[in-house]
A and B are shown apart, each in its own frame.
Chain A
Amino acid sequence: MSHAVFGQAQEFIAPSIEWWQISPILALVAGALGLLVVGALTPTWPRGGYAAVAVLTTIVAGVFTLFHWNDIADNGPSTMISRALAFDAFTQFLTITILLATLLVLLVTADELYRTDNDGPEIYALMLVAATGGIVMAAANDLIVMFLGLETLSLALYVLAASDRERRASQESGIKYFVLGGFASAFFLYGIALVYGGFRSTNIGEIVEAAQADVLLTGDDPMVLAGLAMLIVGLGFKVAAVPFHIWTPDVYQGSPTNVTAFMASVGKAAAFAAMLRVLVVALPTQRDDWRPAIWVIAVVTLVVGSALAVVQTDVKRMLAYSSISHAGFILVGVEAAGHGGLAADNDGMSSVAAYLLLYAVLTVGSFAVVTLVGRSSGGDTSLEAFSGLAKRRPALALGLTVFLLAQAGVPLTSGFVAKWGVIQAAVEQESYVIAIIAMIAAVIAAYLYLRIMVSMWLREGAADVAVEPVPLMTGFSVAFAAVFTIAVGVWPQWVLEAADEVIAYAR
């Protein structure tokens, strides 16, 4: 009888496509394809040509996004293309985050590719494609669409990680990332299949409707619970939460530093956006099942990330573990978002959104400085390479100090605003234990940032170390990130108000 339905010739009704609402995605894809096609057909462009097109593309996409932000403020959220994508403030906030991080990374990349004589359209196109995937993940209102976004982002990142053909470490990090990333994607996909088995739909809106319409369908359905567990494993890998973090230090260290900056900012923002969409937006009826799991993962991530960061000797590895510990803080916000009650009283989701924006800028700034130091020391990013940096390049050392203080959560920096947000959200939901653990972890992690600062300011560098050249665009990127970090630390209100909008999501 079930086969009869397949046999019926049903008329295909094409969904209406909201071209204007998906314009940021279209702009990025058009920019990437244009770069690849035109770049392949024309002789090598002059310096900065490819980068200029890529930067322009992200700016155009960003302007579109700001229009959409105002549109949503006036007309409220909605869904697009028969509910495949959500058009809401959460999407636009994360789109801005991803585009801003992409823009800063592109500037660093432009200098880096020119120096290594690898200037070509491919890397820029891959970054634009990866950013598109990240935006699709944040906007997805269907789990299959989210999977497509995840793979678009991941496949581009695998290639970017392995893109430095001169260094063995880059290829090693590429293959490690690829195998473990594919492994995690398979778990994520199996989770989608099992959730589909429980709710008869992969659409987030329809999942929620099915869960609310039929109480018996939810609750203890083993298929839904298994699917939920698989989804958490897959997403936990992408956000680099302990115990799914094993790949992070190796991949962060082996990849070209500008790519590491991209992974740590765009990759993390997109993965956490997807996690919020899956857990908070799609499966609020299962929140009592997933919240304890997130609680445990958050605590382990905070403790292990902070503790292991302290014993590292390579700055890129330190920042990799620090990104793991940041994932722990963001998970504290996710856990807070998992408490019931009125959505308006729960700051979990908006605190996570604000954290992602502020952390993305911070981490790109940090890795931009590491890029400059690493390039003059022949790829050496150990703690010794940073000693005496304050003597050689005071401005650069000052920039990195600002980023490290912010990562440690010192007041008057954006990092303090971000950490304050998630801990306050946890306290408001009466998750006192996790809030206290988060504060202790912040203190442990501060030691790591102090070690780098001591090395920069108090240690003498070797006499023969060359002074790091600071190319224009990387310098601009670092300066912008540093000013942003301080400005948001002093006037956090506008970021927090914008982040508060994200709780009115569509599904």
Chain B
Amino acid sequence: MTAVVLAAVPTTTYYLVLAAILFAIGAVGVMVRRNPLVMFMCIELMLNAVNLSFVALATRFADIDGQTAVFFVMVVAAAEVVVGLGIIISILRRRPGVNADDLAELKG
């Protein structure tokens, strides 16, 4: 009984595994989904999985560097949202309801 309780106390590794799973979900999402907005959300999920890894590792090392890295990533993610949504809106305005398979003017 004691062993079960001890095992249930989350360690850093739990968070790292969770982050890896989230990252994998995001990566698969980018590859299988066809809506540009959803693909974009999956990329954000990947970035936040990395943030979780950084925080977990910073706690394990008792080191502040990993936590500050998260702030940089959040700023970059916010900037990416601005640019990404700008491009997506400009393309959706000309071609409503477009998905990734329709964007096939360039190929060869």
A interface residues, Cβ below 8 angstroms from B = 1-3, 5-6, 144, 147-148, 151, 155, 158-159, 162, 165, 168-169, 171-176, 178-179, 182-183, 186-187, 189-190, 192-194, 196-197, 200-202, 249-250, 253-254, 312-314, 317
Contact = CB atoms under 8 A, between A and B. Distances in A.
A176 B23 CA distance: 21
Contact of B107 (A162, A179, A250): A250
Tell me the interface secondary structure of chain B in the complex. helix
5 closest A-B pairs (Cβ-Cβ)? A186-B46, A2-B62, A250-B106, A193-B53, A182-B43
Contacts, number: 122
B65 A201 contact: yes
**Most chain B beta-carbon neighbours within 10 Å: one of A183, A186, A189, A190:** A186
15 contacts: A2-B59, A148-B76, A155-B80, A158-B84, A169-B106, A172-B103, A182-B40, A183-B43, A186-B27, A186-B47, A186-B50, A192-B50, A193-B50, A193-B69, A202-B65
B88 to A, nearest CB: 7
B84 A172 contact: no
A186 B26 contact: yes
B51 to A, nearest CB: 8
Contact of B105 (A168, A313, A314, A317): A168
A190 B49 contact: yes
Given A171-B91, A179-B40, A314 B79 contact: no
Nearest to B60: A2
Given A144-B69, A183-B43, A190 B103 contact: no
A400 to B, nearest CB: 21
B73 interface: yes
Nearest to A254: B106
A316 to B, nearest CB: 10
Interface of B: 16, 23, 26-27, 30, 36, 39-40, 43, 46-47, 49-50, 53-54, 57, 59-66, 69, 72-73, 76, 79-80, 83-84, 86-88, 90-91, 94-95, 100, 103, 105-108
A312 B108 contact: yes
B72 A173 contact: no
B108 A317 contact: yes
Contacts of A151: 76, 79-80
Contact of A175 (B63, B76, B91): B91
Nearest to A177: B87
Contacts of A5: 62
Given A1-B62, A186-B43, 8 more contacts: A147-B73, A159-B86, A159-B87, A169-B105, A194-B53, A196-B57, A202-B69, A312-B108
